[in-house]
Structure formats: structure tokens, C-alpha cells
Amino acid sequence: MSARPVLGIIACNRTVGTEVAQTVINRYATAAMRYADCAALIIPSLPDHMHAREIVGRLDGVLLTGTPSNVAPALYGDPAEGEGPFDPDRDRMMIELVEATIAAQRPLFGICRGFQEINVALGGTLRRDTSASDELLHHHAPDDAAFDAMFDHRHKVDLVEGGLLASAYAAPSLEVNSVHYQGIGALADSLAVEARAPDGLVEAYSARPNGAPLLAVQWHPEWATDGDDQSQTYFHLLGRALRGEL
């Protein structure tokens, strides 16, 4: 059997019982392994014990996932405390991972918080009112919505003509799920918009730093991927990137 590419997936620090554990929600890992056709390794967010540079050269690419925690506002120059939960060790590890993955010329993909993280690591900012601003769509279901209903909260995104996503989907727009309280404020200078919501909020971006592809989306393609060609397409792009075909 020929070896499949190996994807590194960042972990979060979450309390399980009475102890802190390194966790990755299964749907991110299973969607990536199934539809990108890759093997996967979990990258612990333990920056006191390892540096991202030690491992990215052994990987074919990196995925930064969504998670309930928020990026610390101080990382994008906001003095406000913001609303948690926070995961400072993931914050530190993701900055190291973004820098090391780009330096190693490996593909870098992001989903939800991962989308926000890459923007921050590259010098962009976030806004924290995407479910409360009168200027924006409500990008999150009501707080009393059931868990599955949160992922049924959807809106349209317009794909940028000539972009990577517009080419992959051969369509001018998509309907995507929307499960985020925070979003892009200022987009990092090195990133190119791939999709916007009708209210103008950036929903996807791409780049080719050091020649390797970078692609991140604010929505959740890993949710209910079975039988959903649209969601699977994102991971097909990841698989191509891991094989140097993108």
C-alpha cells in the first residue's frame, strides 16, 4: 500500500473530568482523513514542551480547526478583555504553527477559529459582534438553539470570480452554515479574499506564502460531510494540497 500524506491537526486544551486533555473533535479528523484521503497526527498545544518547528517538517500539511475557545484579543491589538473561553496555549502553538508551516513551505488550512487564527497570526484583526451587530447578518443561531440547530443556521456567501473556491465549485455563490460570534475585522495584507457574506464580512481567503497553498473558511465544512458534495470539496482541495497538486 502506498503511503498517504500525513496531516497535522492542532489540538485544544479542554477539561475532561478533573484534568486538562489535548482534544480534537472527531468530525474534523474523520472528515479530513476520509475526504482528503490522508493519515493524521494530533499536534498538542503544549508550547512549553515543544516548538512547532520540531514537527512541521515531518508533516505534509497542517489544519487549524474550529473550537469553542476564542483568540485572545491582545493578540490582535485589542486591549479589551473579550469573552472567553480562552486557550492561551493553543494561541501560542497556533502562532508557532502558522510561522513554521509557511517557513517549511507546507500547505496550511483553517476552519472557523482556525480561519480567524491565521488572519491574526499574519497581522489581521477580529471583530466580536458578528451575532449582535445591526450592521451584519446574525452569523450565529440564537443562544437557546439546540446543538444541531446551530449548524443548520445558514446564509449565502459570494465567491470571488477567478478565486480558488469559485474554480473548485464552478459556482458564483454557496449556502454555508454559520456558527461564529467573532469574524474578520481587518484582513491581513498577505491574504486574498475568496468569499464574502452579503453583509461584506470576509468568509474565506487564500494565499500562497512561500509557494505553498493556504486556504481557510469561516464556515464548517466538516459538519455532516457524508452525502454533502459541497463540504467534501473543501477536503478534496486539502488532499490535493497535501500531494502538491494545488
Q: What is residue 153's predicted lDDT score, i.e. its pLDDT?
A: 80
Going from the C-alpha of 178 to that of each of 72, 137, 141, 196, 197, the distances in angstroms are 21, 10, 8, 12, 10
CA geometry: angle 53, 55, 60, nearest 5 deg = 110
CA distance 127 to 108: 23
181 CB-contact burial (10 Å; exposed 0-12 / middle 13-18 / buried 19+): middle
- Residues belonging to the active site: 112, 220, 222
Judge whether 18 and 51 are in contact, CB under 8 Å: no
Q: For residue 86, list its beta bridge partners.
A: 70
Q: What is residue 243's predicted lDDT score, i.e. its pLDDT?
A: 97
Please name the residue that has the C-alpha cell 445591526: 134
Q: What is residue 2's predicted lDDT score, i.e. its pLDDT?
A: 65
Q: What is residue 129's predicted lDDT score, i.e. its pLDDT?
A: 82
Task: Encode the chain (246 residues) as per-residue pLDDT tens digits.
Answer: 569 999 999 999 999 999 999 999 999 999 999 999 999 999 999 999 999 999 999 999 999 999 999 999 999 999 888 888 999 999 999 999 999 999 999 999 999 999 999 999 999 999 988 777 777 777 777 777 888 777 788 889 999 999 999 999 999 999 998 888 789 999 999 999 999 999 899 999 999 998 999 999 999 999 989 988 999 999 999 999 999 999
Topology annotation, domain 6-128+181-242:
Rossmann fold (3.40.50)
Going from the C-alpha of 200 to that of each of 69, 156, 183, the distances in angstroms are 24, 11, 11
| pTM of the predicted model as reported, rounded to 2 decimal places | 0.95
Q: Domain-by-domain residue ranges, the chain?
A: 6-128+181-242
Q: What is residue 118's predicted lDDT score, i.e. its pLDDT?
A: 98
Q: How many Cβ atoms from other residues are within 10 Å of residue 230's Cβ?
A: 14
